[in-house]
């Protein structure tokens, strides 16, 4: 049994400047103002789109994250419909071979009884496999705290909505910590779109 911290990283290398230029190009189609594209115009256009609430154009930029978190948090993430997901499968992953791992909770400390329980969960999971059950059957005993990896692709409009909900102080603490990490990446990668989002 192992405990790990949750994390967020960009899955693929991206060029933030190219992404905002791409948004400008498609937006100018709407206004037939492609002739106005020039040095520095993309940032101004994207800020106008963002500030005016013309979010449809922001759907033409997206980012893909690799998130390491717990199963409970992924149940919240996948409620965001305007996204694509590829998640580690407890049906097919054999944690008897991979090892059962759990995510450190951010809003309370694990005590010795908690750690004992996590150890018992791993032992019971492995016992199921030893008795001939498949990983699909043994997963019945795995909790929400189980570490999982999920690839999440969201367009900028959905990311803004996601951060509005998930960075809020009322959000689940585990979810909020992960969303704040994702937001920091977005602010670094495409500040024009995300620089005014607060946590």
**For 27-77, how does the pLDDT look when each residue is reduced to its tens digit (9 = 90+)?**
999 989 999 999 999 999 999 999 988 889 999 999 999 999 999 999 999
pLDDT value for 131: 98
Whether 48 is catalytic is: no
Phi and psi torsions of 146, nearest 5°: -60, 135
Has residue 188 got a pLDDT over 90? yes
- Whether 137 is in a domain gets the answer yes
**CATH classification of the domain holding 107:** 3.30.1360.170
- Per residue in 130-153, is it b (16+ CB within 10 Å) or e — as a string? eeeeebeebbeebeebbbbebebe
pLDDT value for 31: 87
- Whether 198 is in a domain gets the answer yes
pLDDT value for 94: 97
Show the tokens assigned to 8: 């967020």
pLDDT value for 75: 97
Confidence of residue 146 (pLDDT cuts 50, 70, 90): very high
Q: Give SS3 for 180.
A: helix
Entry pTM? 0.94
Q: How many CB atoms lie within 10 A of CB 38?
A: 7
- Whether 32 is in a domain gets the answer no
Distance CA 146, CA 90 (A): 10
**For 88-135, how does the pLDDT look when each residue is reduced to its tens digit (9 = 90+)?**
999 999 999 999 999 999 999 999 999 999 999 999 999 999 999 999
Confidence of residue 199 (pLDDT cuts 50, 70, 90): confident
Give me the domain span that covers residue 164: 1-13+62-199
Of the candidates 101, 139, 166, 176, the residue annotated as catalytic is 166
- Whether 51 is in a domain gets the answer no
Count structural domains, the chain. 1
- Whether 70 is in a domain gets the answer yes
- Whether 37 is in a domain gets the answer no
Burial class (CB in 10 A: 0-12, 13-18, 19+), 6: buried
- Whether 96 is in a domain gets the answer yes
- Whether 69 is in a domain gets the answer yes
Q: Give SS3 for 110.
A: coil
């Amino acid at each position: 049994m192992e405990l790990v911290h949750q994390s967020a990283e960009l899955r693929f290398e991206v060029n933030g400047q190219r992404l905002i230029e791409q948004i400008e190009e498609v937006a100018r189609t709407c206004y037939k103002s492609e002739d106005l594209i020039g040095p520095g115009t993309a940032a101004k256009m994207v800020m106008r789109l963002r500030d005016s609430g013309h979010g449809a154009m922001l759907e033409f930029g997206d980012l893909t994250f690799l998130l390491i978190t717990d199963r409970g948090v992924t149940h919240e993430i996948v409620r965001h419909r305007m996204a694509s997901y590829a998640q580690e499968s407890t049906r097919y992953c054999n944690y008897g071979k991979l090892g059962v791992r759990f995510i450190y909770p951010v809003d309370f400390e694990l005590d010795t009884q908690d750690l004992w329980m996590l150890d018992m969960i791993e032992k019971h999971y492995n016992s199921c496999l030893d008795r001939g059950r498949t990983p699909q059957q043994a997963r019945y005993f795995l909790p929400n705290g189980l570490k999982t990896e999920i690839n999440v692709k969201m367009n900028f409009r959905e990311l803004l909505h996601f951060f509005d909900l998930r960075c809020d102080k009322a959000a689940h603490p585990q979810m909020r910590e992960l969303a704040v990490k994702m937001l920091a990446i977005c602010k670094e990668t495409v500040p024009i779109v995300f620089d005014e989002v607060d946590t």
